[in-house]
Each structure stands twice: as structure tokens, then as C-alpha cells.
Amino acid sequence: MDWLHYLLLAILQGIAEILPISSSGHLALYQAIFNINQGYEGTFSILLHGGSLLALLVYFSPSIVRLLQSVFFFIQGKRSTAILEDMRFIGYLLLASLPAGIVGVFLSDTIDAIFASLTFVGIGFLITAGLLYVVYRRSKQSSKKTYSLISALGAGFAQVLGIFPGISRSGSTISGALLTGLSLSKAKEFSFFMFIPISAGSFLLSLDRLQSVETIDWMPMLVAVAVTFGVTLITLHLVLKRLKVTHFPYFSMYLVVIGIITLILAGLPQG
């Protein structure tokens, strides 16, 4: 049964990380309902996020290689338009990653405690639902396809919300970029690129926590990471091609329902 749980959690992570519905919230809810990984919810979430991170690295590998080449050429003194655009994009990406990185470092213990609280998870679902609906009502279908300091800051500060369970990281960052006038295609691309540095940083900072865990059965967890990788790749391909702002109200309604259910479960006596 443990294997089944881990596989279902992996599939859940691969889908919910990319869709604007909060993978961390769904993982916390599932683990609480079935009473698994108690005390290690945050650790398991980190492992599965590692699988999603690897999927994004593979998916965006051509762009990542191009950006690295641009850095190398820039250091050599080359200043073509394409190189300067890539360097500007890297700068915006680093700037956008700072707020969540700083908050994550200073509030890591608090975030771990929140992962174990269904009440906070349910509230997070409802916050995400409200955010998606507001963006649907207020954002305009912009044709602005150029990243800017404003769009980077909008997505960056929105990502701070996404480090808490129940609040979708992709939903908040895409919404933050959309509200600055960036086009949906560019907002999606920037949002998923942003996942790479923040997730990589979180994983590296959590290595000591992973090494200190001795009571976890690692084999099903590692298989779950591999499944997460595959499911994330598939979901990412579909979302980048098909997700539209007109879909946001449907995700919002879903999150309202699951948020209410989560809060009801949180209020039930334990055991």
C-alpha cells in the first residue's frame, strides 16, 4: 500500500506543480488524510519537487544551454542584441527569485510547521482561488511580449505566496506577471523558469535534512521522484500549449471546493 500511496503522490505532484492548484497543498492534504510520512511531509515534498525540477531542466534544456552560452560570450566581451536580451532575461530571473529565496531561508521552520496544518492548507487553497478569479476578472489579454523590471518584480513578489502550502506557486507567479501586463505565453514561460532557481536553492538548503532522516523507506520515494519527473514533463507540455486565462475560473471553483473540504477535515477530531 505504501507503494501505491507514493505513486499517487508522485502523479499528484507532477500535475499540481504545473497547474495553478498548489502541489504542496495537495501533497499535505493527501498525506494528512492517509496518515503517511507523518513528521516528514516537508521532506517528501522536497524530494518530489526535485523530480519536477529535473523535468523542467530537461524541458527547457535548449534554452538553458543558449543562456549559458550567452553568459560565456558576454564575459568574452560580445554584445550582440541576442546576447544582451539573454543577459537581461537572466537578470530579471535572478531578481524575481530573490524575494521567495529570502523568505524561504528565514521562515523555513515556520513553513515546515504549516505543512502539517490542514487549516493553513485549506486557507491557502481559498487564497489561490481568490487570486485566480481576480486575475481572470482584471487582467487584460496583453500582447506585451517583452520582459521588464515590473513584470519580474510582479512575478517575484507573487512567488513569495507560493512557498506556503495551498497557495499555488505557478498560479501566483503567472498571475503576478499577468497583472503587470505581460502576455500569457511569456508569463507562463517566466513562471516555470522561476521554478528552477528557487527549487534548486530549496533542495540544496535541505540536503542536511534529507541526510538526517533514517526511518524513511527510500526505495518507493525514489521511484516516486522518477514518476514525478515523467508526469511533470507531460503536464508542462500541455499547459504551455493550452492553458488560458479563461480556464482560471474553473480552477478557482475547484480550489474553493477542496479548500472547504480541507477546512472541514481540519476541524474534525484527530484519531
Q: How far is CA 192 from CA 18, 36, 113, 170, 189, in A?
A: 8, 29, 26, 7, 5
Query: How many angstroms separate the first and last alpha carbons of the chain?
Result: 20
Q: Which residues in the chain show pLDDT less than 50?
A: none
Cβ 30 vs Cβ 9: under 8 Å: yes
Q: Which domain holds residue 204?
A: 2-267
- Cα gap 260→129, rounded to integer Å: 11
At position 14, the amino acid (one-letter code) is G
Which of these, 116, 98, 94, 111, lies nearest to 41 by C-alpha position?
116
pLDDT, tens digit, for every residue of 172-192? 999 999 988 889 999 999 999
pLDDT of residue 40: 56
pLDDT of residue 242: 92
pLDDT of residue 19: 96
pLDDT of residue 270: 61
Query: Is the CA virtual torsion 53, 55, 61, 63 positive or negative?
Result: negative
pLDDT of residue 59: 96
pLDDT of residue 157: 94
Number of domains within the chain: 1
pLDDT of residue 140: 64
Query: Is the CA virtual torsion 33, 250, 231, 99 positive or negative?
Result: negative
pLDDT of residue 208: 66
pLDDT of residue 84: 95
